[in-house]
């Protein structure tokens, strides 16, 4: 364990919400030591259904969770953009990526088996790997189930009595941000200009939302729903922000404020958001020369050896960004927030790969698919047409 990791651990211990009750044994030591160990053999008495790590099998009894998870990005983490890169990686390099994208040892084994047959690119051959960040990666170790305090009773510790899959060990550790931090927080020794590329848990720690007791789970798993909606979901982003338009006879000003995002908006370097205001003519056509924009993004570049930060204009909780234009001779303006959730992948990662990968290769086809998805993920929020006040009344 590096010094930085020890420090992070101490930090986390210092900050944890309510102390666990006496029955709460917590997660076993090494629960998140990556790469995860193989589960080993399931108890002989178990049915195939109980022994299976396939989310479909879990869903036979936990249908609601399967349904929610299926639509989430966690379920789609073994994605074309990932596989297109893995195909040219060694198994060791591949494992580094799988730790977060398909964390079970059984998933790495399934992908490597498909790769050896020259079928690594085919979803039908990838077996459990295709399930991405699946049920077992978060809930199953050595075939034992782990979960949060029991709904209703808040009981922790091992469940009693005869239940499928030998019951479950319940612990409040499932409700802590550190549970997510395994994959959503890089260590402090990987900082670029003081901040690692993924710094979500640290950002959360500094936030007023953390002080008010809101965790990652509060916002991203309300009522324990397994949806994990984030920047790819317009409604989630809209709910986190407030846009205000203020106008008088001379100018129009739009201000965007981060109200309910428990970390930087956006937290990663990959999305980009742009606040726009532009005057429009009598036919509703934009007059591009009047457009004012402000970029909300942490921009980084890799120079071949090191990452450098170029700029960071993301909004921390409570912070605002604004644009202003003078009406001039115009009477109407259009304002909106443009969100590009996968900007960095589209502009940097995929465009580079599309230049480098051999034409017609399976990897290139996958990256082209990922790039098309990235381009299609762009959307607008808070779009509206604003009229210049005061003119009609002839004041
Ligand atoms: C044959 C039905 C069945 C299958 C298959 C099954 N479970 Fe369960 N699961 C249960 C039951 C019943 C409980 C309640 C156990 C108890 O209270 O002791 C439970 C409890 C749980 C809990 C704790 C929820 C709570 O009640 O607090 C988790 C987490 C869990 N299962 C995960 C999984 C995962 C992950 C899989 C697939 C790898 C899975 N289960 C497969 C029936 C099943
Ligand atoms: C095993 C690693 C892992 C764990 C643990 C994990 N995540 Fe994720 N998460 C990922 C990966 C990988 C993605 C991206 C999937 C993709 O798009 O390929 C992701 C995506 C997300 C997204 C969607 C982001 C977007 O771009 O819209 C949210 C929200 C999220 N995770 C929240 C959480 C929360 C909250 C927790 C803790 C309860 C958590 N995650 C635990 C690996 C993990
Ligand atoms: C520490 C956890 C972690 C590791 C390790 C990791 N990723 Fe990710 N990755 C994430 C998270 C979280 C996201 C989602 C954040 C976002 O929206 O970009 C993501 C998103 C992606 C995406 C864009 C979404 C998608 O699935 O198409 C690609 C491509 C990707 N990762 C590839 C890789 C590759 C290749 C590696 C190994 C070199 C890797 N990742 C290693 C956590 C990780
Ligand atoms: C990225 C990690 C992650 C993945 C993947 C995941 N879960 Fe969970 N699950 C959690 C967390 C965290 C909680 C507790 C959330 C809370 O307490 O707010 C939880 C809670 C649960 C519960 C208890 C629900 C309740 O109402 O008490 C069940 C059952 C469960 N998960 C089953 C599953 C099944 C089945 C799958 C796959 C279809 C799955 N989980 C995938 C992290 C995960
Ligand atoms: C107060 C509510 C709140 C809390 C607490 C919170 N989030 Fe978010 N999160 C949001 C909102 C709203 C968005 C959409 C806006 C955005 O992308 O920043 C979001 C977006 C995300 C994304 C999408 C990627 C990106 O670049 O923004 C990820 C990943 C994520 N959150 C993970 C986490 C994790 C991990 C934690 C805990 C350390 C957490 N969130 C805590 C509200 C919250």
Q: What is the pLDDT of residue 258?
A: 98
In a domain, 6, yes or no: no
User: How many domains would you assign to the chain?
Assistant: 2
131 and 46 both lie in a single domain: yes
pLDDT at 294 over 80: yes
Please classify residue 365 by burial: count the beta carbons closer than 10 Å to its beta carbon, then call 0-12 exposed, 13-18 middle and 19+ buried.
middle
Where residue 261 falls among pLDDT bands split at 50, 70, 90?
A: very high
Say if 209 falls within a structural domain.
Answer: no
pTM of the full predicted structure?
Answer: 0.95
Would residue 85 count as lying in a domain?
A: yes
Residue 73 covered by a domain: yes
Residues 249 and 382 both lie in one domain = yes
Q: Is 339 in the pocket of ligand 2 (CB under 6 A)?
A: no
Alpha-carbon distance of 75 to 349, in angstroms, equals 22
Last residue of a domain, one of 124, 149, 175: 175
Shared-domain flag, residues 106 and 239 = no
Residue nearest to atom 35 of ligand 2 (CA): 216
Q: Is 26 exposed, middle or buried (0-12, 13-18, 19+ CB in 10 A)?
A: middle
Which ranges in 73-215 belong to alpha helices (H)? 80-86, 91-101, 105-116, 135-139, 177-184, 200-205, 208-211
- Please name the residues in contact with 324: beta carbons below 8 A apart, sequence gap of 6 or more: 251, 252, 253, 254, 277, 292
Q: Name every protein residue with a CB atom under 6 angstroms from any ligand 3 atom.
A: 77, 79, 81-82, 85, 96-97, 99-101, 183-184, 268, 270, 345, 370
| Residues 139 and 238 reside in one and the same domain | no
66 and 154 co-located in one domain: yes
In the listed set 154, 175, 196, which residue is the last one of a domain according to the structure? 175
Regarding the beta carbon of 209 and ligand 5, being less than 6 Å apart is answered: yes
> In this structure, is residue 313 part of a structural domain?
yes
- Pocket lining: 220 vs ligand 5, CB cutoff 6 Å: yes
Counting atoms of ligand 4 from 1, which one is nearest the CA of 174? 12
pLDDT number for residue 160: 84
Longest dimension (CA), the chain: 86
Residue where a domain stops, chosen among 145, 175, 205: 175
Q: Taking Cα atoms as reference points, which of 181, 84, 77 lies closest to residue 134?
A: 77
- With cut-offs at 50, 70 and 90, classify the pLDDT of residue 1: very low
What pLDDT score was predicted for residue 300?
Answer: 97
- Residues 134, 100: contact at Cβ < 8 Å? no
The residues, ordered by sequence, that sit 6+ positions from 176 with a Cβ below 8 Å of its Cβ are 12, 16, 17, 215
User: Is the CB of 205 inside a 6 Å radius of any atom of ligand 2?
Assistant: no
Same domain, yes or no: 331 and 244: yes
* 369 and 290 in a common domain: yes
- Which atom of ligand 3 lies nearest, measured to the CA of 86? 35
- Output the residue whose Cα is nearest ligand 1's atom 36: 58
Cα–Cα distance, 377 to 149 (Å, whole number): 36
Distance between CA 292 and CA 367 in Å, rounded? Answer: 34
- Give the structural domain span for 284: 234-387
CB-ligand 5 contact for 271 (6 Å cutoff): yes
User: Same domain for 371 and 272?
Assistant: yes
Tell me which of 6-15, 154-163, 310-319, 347-356 is least confident: 6-15
pLDDT in tens, 193-220: 999 999 999 999 999 999 999 999 999 9
* pLDDT band at residue 269 using 50, 70 and 90 as cut-offs: very high
**CA 167–ligand 1 middle distance (angstroms):** 7
Identify whether 129 is part of a domain: yes
pLDDT > 90: percent of the chain: 90
User: Would you say the CB of residue 58 lies under 6 angstroms from ligand 4?
Assistant: yes
Instruction: Report yes or no on 196 lying in a domain.
Output: no
Q: Of all residues in the chain, what percent carry a pLDDT higher than 70? A: 93
The confidence score (pLDDT) of residue 162 equals 85
3-state secondary structure of 302: strand
Query: If you measure from the C-alpha of residue 327 to the centroid of ligand 5, how many angstroms do you get, rounded to a whole number?
Result: 36
390 pLDDT band, cuts 50/70/90, is confident
Q: Which pLDDT score, from 0 to 100, does residue 273 have?
A: 98
Same domain membership, residue 240 and residue 118: no
pLDDT in tens, 215-254: 999 999 999 999 999 999 999 999 999 999 999 999 999 9
Mean pLDDT of 68-83: 98
How much is the average pLDDT of 118-122? 98
Tell me: do 28 and 132 sit in the same domain: yes
Answer whether residue 94 is part of any domain. yes
Taking CA atoms only, the protein residue closest to ligand 4 atom 34 is: 135
Among residues 323, 322, 329, 321, the alpha carbon closest in space to that of 388 is found at: 329
- Note whether 137 and 264 are same-domain residues: no
Q: What is the pLDDT of residues 20-38, one digit of tens each?
A: 566 798 999 999 999 999 9
Residue 378 CA to ligand 1 center (angstroms) comes to: 38
The tokens for 109 are 């084994």
Residues 156 and 247 in one domain: no
């Amino acid at each position: 364990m590096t010094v930085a990791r020890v420090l992070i651990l101490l930090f986390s211990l210092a900050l944890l919400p309510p102390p666990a009750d006496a029955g709460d044994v917590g997660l076993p030591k090494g629960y998140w030591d990556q790469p995860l160990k193989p589960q080993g053999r399931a108890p002989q008495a178990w049915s195939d259904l109980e022994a299976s790590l396939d989310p479909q099998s879990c869903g036979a009894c936990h249908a609601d969770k399967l349904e929610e998870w299926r639509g989430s990005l966690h379920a789609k983490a073994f994605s074309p953009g990932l596989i297109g890169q893995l195909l040219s990686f060694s198994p060791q390099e591949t494992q580094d990526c799988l730790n977060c994208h398909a964390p079970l040892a059984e998933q790495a084994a399934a992908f490597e088996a498909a790769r050896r047959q020259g079928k690594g690119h085919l979803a039908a051959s990838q077996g459990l790997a295709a399930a991405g960040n699946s049920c077992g990666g978060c809930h199953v170790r050595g075939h034992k189930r782990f979960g949060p305090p029991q709904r209703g009773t808040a009981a922790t510790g091992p469940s009693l009595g005869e239940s499928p899959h030998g019951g479950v060990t319940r612990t409040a550790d499932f409700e802590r941000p550190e549970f997510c931090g395994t994959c959503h927080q890089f260590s402090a020794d990987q900082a670029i200009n003081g901040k690692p590329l993924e710094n979500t848990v640290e950002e959360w720690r500094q936030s007023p939302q953390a002080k008010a007791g809101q965790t990652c789970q509060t916002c991203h798993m309300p009522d324990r729903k397994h949806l994990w909606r984030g920047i790819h979901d317009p409604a989630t982003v809209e709910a986190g922000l407030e846009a205000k338009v203020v106008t008088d006879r001379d100018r129009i000003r739009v201000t965007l404020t981060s109200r309910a995002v428990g970390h930087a908006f956006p937290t990663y370097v990959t999305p980009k958001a742009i606040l726009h205001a532009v005057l429009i003519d009598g036919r509703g056509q934009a007059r591009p020369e009047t457009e004012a924009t402000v970029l909300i993004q942490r921009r980084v570049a890799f120079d071949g050896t090191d990452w450098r930060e170029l700029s960071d204009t993301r909004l921390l909780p409570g912070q605002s960004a604004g644009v202003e234009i003078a009406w001039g001779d115009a009477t109407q303006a259009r304002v909106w927030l443009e969100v590009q959730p996968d900007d960095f992948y589209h502009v940097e990662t995929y465009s580079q790969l599309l230049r480098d990968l051999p034409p017609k290769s399976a990897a290139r086809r996958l990256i082209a698919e990922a790039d098309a998805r990235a381009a299609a993920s762009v959307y607008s929020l808070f779009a509206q047409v604003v009229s210049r006040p005061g003119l009609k009344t002839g004041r």
